[in-house]
Chain A
Amino acid sequence: MTTITRLTDRLMIDKSKVTSFLSWMGQASKALLLPVIGITVFLVIWSIAANSINTSLGKFPGPVAVAGQFGALYQEHNAERVKAEAFYERQDKRNAARLEVDPSYVVKIRAYTGKETFVDQIFTSLVTVMSGFLLAAVIAIPMGIWMGLSPTLNAALNPIVQVFKPVSPLAWLPLVTMVVSALYVSPDPMVSKSFINSLLTVTLCSLWPMMINTSLGVANIDSDLVNVSRVLRLSPLTHVQKIVLPASIPLIFTGMRLSLGVAWMVLIAAEMLAQNPGLGKFVWDEFQNGSSESLARIMAAVVVIGLIGFLLDRGVLALQRWFSWDKTK
């Protein structure tokens, strides 16, 4: 401190500003430094461990090999895009030429059917998980509110919820597949069956945490607030809008975060088996492929799956902050 005092005296700067800046630096470095140390140690242990594991597909990939695959996967994606553009260009030219010869020709545009790249698969997975999750939310939140309001309904449905909650997606999937192929018959389907299969499996597994938490939040509203509503003779709809929903928002969002976490985990398993063109299928295909790079590519997918799961959770948290009246939570 004495050097700081001497320094500030000589430069005639406010000393408190300097000390507060230093403490800010200290906090910032702590917030940044410790995670960096943690990640570094993890990477070192990983590469040492990887070096000593030999599989039939070669050495287990270390951090460097995985990082290399990120680059390779991105380049493959770009290369595929170039190919697709070239395909559409050729098609346009061909169609233009045919129109010149025969003006009555009805132009047919065919979609490019090259293989999905890693980036496409990430996108497919996100669309699938969000569709399944939203379908679950649309069912679970109103159901949860109803269960929270009515102890009778809650008592009737609770055993069902408790039994279905721990069921693995892998058990649902065969049933879902058979039901979907029996009921979803259309000569020109809007979306593929594998998409519907994955979506419904995600929905079936992510319904429960949302339903349970919502009903818990609604059932535990401060009884004084319920009495206010009774004295005012609010209609059931106004009661839900003005009292129930704002009061149970924290638990509804807790349920949504839990459910989205479950949904994302379930999705990868569902896509593997349903062959929905997402990250799960990517992992499965690479496993079947069995090249010397497969393990590194799967490991890259693992990192991406983890990052996306983390970002999804943060996304819901941000949504909760934006929605909730209580900005401190």
Chain B
Amino acid sequence: MSTFLDISNIDMDFPTPNGPFKALKEVNLKINKGEFVSLIGHSGCGKSTVLNIVAGLYQATKGGVILNSTEVAEPGPERAVVFQNHSLLPWLTAYQNVELAVKQVFQKKMNKAEMKQWIEHNLKLVHMDHAMHKRPSEISGGMKQRVGIARALAMQPDVLLMDEPFGALDALTRAHMQDSLMEIQNELNNTVIMITHDVDEAVLLSDKIVMMTNGPAATVGEILEVNLPRPRARLALAEDKEYNRLRAEVLKFLYEKQRKVENINISKSSISDNETADVG
């Protein structure tokens, strides 16, 4: 299979009062079409920075990203982002939030009725059709994140970028959302990059787990292939030998090979604001 998304030799420096801070150094990653890839690593290791560079929200200092044989230069709907804190426009209903994206992306390709159908289809996909005319303040955190996912899916992106999509949710809601995401993934077979802190989530959802070393100058440490058969069932996997082996591999990487040296002051002051929100 040919490479669909190619992240090659990325360096990222952030300017600080004490000179540039090297957040990423020589990050290389190749992702195939339809692959579900998780990025895992300790807080402040630059996972979000990688995602933001792929999204085009940050410009890499060195190196570049090629998606579908075109270089990424700016943000665009073909690389839809699901933000950690949903980022729905609070003055629009769930339907209108998705509509804003659909109108923008399918302006010329769809008529009004088709758009309405497409918006409703996507909200149904995330099980939000019952509350689509509610404002974000009127629905729960999990529901907001569902709408955020529906908005991203509705753009029909080449690659779906998820920045800790379930990080702010309670454990039970998170499990529900993971099941929903697997169900959607079975149907659509999207190319996905997801940032996570949750080892179980990474093993359960991914085809590939990319483990990142600690910053500064973070890079890809190891890549773990997850060859568990799909569809995957949470309960059955709990007893599965291969599942537990993979889980142990990730834990070993995080807590033995890349043991986080606690130095909160450095990681807070020198890393860009979206990384300080990461809490392991």
Q: Which residues of A contact B (CB under 8 A)?
A: 222, 224-225, 227-228, 230-234, 238, 242-243, 246-247, 325-326
Q: Which of B86-94, B221-229, B240-248, B254-262 contacts A (4 or more CB under 8 A)?
A: B86-94
Give Cα A227 to B89, complex, Å.
Answer: 12
Asked if residues B89 and A225 are in contact (CB atoms below 8 Å), the reply is yes
Asked if residues A230 and B101 are in contact (CB atoms below 8 Å), the reply is no
Asked if residues B89 and A243 are in contact (CB atoms below 8 Å), the reply is yes
Q: Which residues of A contact B80 (CB under 8 A)?
A: 231
**With A224-B83, A242-B100 in contact, do A231 and B76 touch (Cβ < 8 Å)?**
yes
Q: Which residues of B contact A227 (CB under 8 A)?
A: 57, 75, 81, 83, 87
The interface on chain B, measured as residues whose beta carbon lies within 8 A of the other chain's beta carbons, has a size of 22
Give Cα A225 to B87, complex, Å.
Answer: 6
**With A227-B57, A232-B100, A233-B104 in contact, do A326 and B76 touch (Cβ < 8 Å)?**
no
Give Cα A35 to B76, complex, Å.
Answer: 58
**With A227-B75, A227-B81 in contact, do A232 and B104 touch (Cβ < 8 Å)?**
yes
Give the interface SS of chain A, mostly helix, strand, loop or mixed: helix
Asked if residues A325 and B57 are in contact (CB atoms below 8 Å), the reply is no
Give Cα A5 to B80, complex, Å.
Answer: 65
Give Cα A233 to B103, complex, Å.
Answer: 11
Give Cα A326 to B135, complex, Å.
Answer: 10
Partner of A230, one of B75, B89, B105, B155: B75
Give the interface SS of chain B, mostly helix, strand, loop or mixed: loop
Asked if residues A246 and B89 are in contact (CB atoms below 8 Å), the reply is yes
User: In this complex, what residue of A is CB-closest to B152?
Assistant: A231
Asked if residues B90 and A326 are in contact (CB atoms below 8 Å), the reply is yes
Q: Which residues of B contact A247 (CB under 8 A)?
A: 91
Closest 5 CB pairs of A and B: A325-B91, A224-B87, A230-B75, A246-B91, A231-B75
The distance from the CB of B115 to the nearest CB of chain A, in whole angstroms, is 15
Give Cα A158 to B59, complex, Å.
Answer: 30
Q: Which residues of A contact B55 (CB under 8 A)?
A: 231
User: In this complex, what residue of A is CB-closest to B85?
Assistant: A224
Q: Which residues of A contact B135 (CB under 8 A)?
A: 325
B93-112 interface mask toward A, CB cutoff 8 Å, 1 = contact, 0 = none?
Answer: 00000001100110000000
* CB pairs A–B below 8 angstroms (5 shown): A224-B83, A225-B87, A232-B104, A233-B77, A325-B135
Most buried by B among A232, A242, A247: A232
Q: Which residues of A contact B100 (CB under 8 A)?
A: 232, 242
